[in-house]
Amino acid sequence: MARAYSEDLRERFCRALDRGMSARSAARQLEVSASTGVKWAQRWRATGKLSAKAMGGRRPVVLAGEREWLLARLERECDPTLADLVAALREERGITVCRDTLWRFLKRCGKSFKKTLFAKEQDRPDVVRRRARWLWLQRRIDPATVRRMVFIDETWAKTNMTRTHGWGNRGRPLIAKVPHGHWKTLTFIAGLRHDGIVAPCVIDGPINGETFATWVEQFLIPELEPGSIVVIDNLGSHKGSRVRKLLRAAGIKLFFLPPYSPDINPIEQVFSKLKRLLHKANERTVEATWRRIGSLLDHFSPLECTNYIQNAGYA
């Protein structure tokens, strides 16, 4: 950073002006640029001062005095956009800032723009009781029991999956082509254990009670040992009597999660990563999607599977 002109030089410039010399002549005599001389002269005549202004350092934060107001507003309403907050600051507080300034300030306050949606039905008294009971038991499960647990669920995959954002030139749309009128939806079902993913299966179309029972009989049970514990959600297709009989005959226990509680099923984290990888893959046929899912399962190591289970609150 360039150094400020010395106070001695500034005083000599002022004396030259007092003697009747023009700003440009005084600047030329003192070897200062003409534009600097003109600015100095204007400032000297307006304020009578010509001391150097402070250079460097942090400029005062415009929003520093609005920290409590902003945080209180976000406490009342958690999801306003930056444009909403900029407008509110202008209309209610008389402060004009740009969105970038507001973004940086909120980041320094420890805020980030995010939201995770949970089922509103979790607030129902009966669901609250069942979730509380499950979470109470969950904290008391010992590691040996966790190693016997298998978390089951299914998710969808489509032949029109792609990444929704990319890098393009500012001011111009970034266009990509995906099927809009014709695509296929597949169902992927599997179990998550502490050491990996078991019984993966891709079904062409939706799943029903009969299909699920067949999967349990032909895919799941052969991979489990007596004493295993199957944990699954409350979907109606999972509750058939045939499923219960098959698992009981194999010496496998069955537990249902509380209603509206995918957040405590760790396999949901597996599905989240799997879908990100499928969006990247851009497969467009049923066979290609089926094969891609099979290859992507190699991306889930035993340690990662253990971490998913621990992250969901199990020992």
C-alpha of 156 from chain center: 21
Tokens of 29: 């005599």
Average pLDDT for the chain: 91
Strand (E) or helix (H) holding 151 = strand 149-158
pLDDT at 59: 56
Asked if 154 and 262 touch (Cβ cutoff 8 Å), the reply is no
pLDDT at 105: 92
In whole angstroms, what is the distance from residue 183 CA to residue 124 CA?
A: 37
Asked if 281 and 292 touch (Cβ cutoff 8 Å), the reply is yes
Each domain of the chain, given as residue ranges in start order, spans 7-47, 66-108, 126-164+183-311
**pTM, entire model:** 0.74
Contacts of 155 (CB under 8 A, 6+ apart): 187, 188, 271, 274, 275
pLDDT-derived band at 257, boundaries 50, 70, 90: very high
Tokens of 129: 């009781």
Candidates 279, 301, 304, 305; CA nearest to 292 is 279
Tokens of 181: 């009128």
CATH superfamily of 126-164+183-311: Ribonuclease H-like superfamily/Ribonuclease H (3.30.420.10)
Question: Is 70's pLDDT higher than 60?
Answer: yes
- Helix axis angle, 267-281 relative to 302-311, nearest 10°? 120
Q: What is the DSSP letter of 124?
A: S
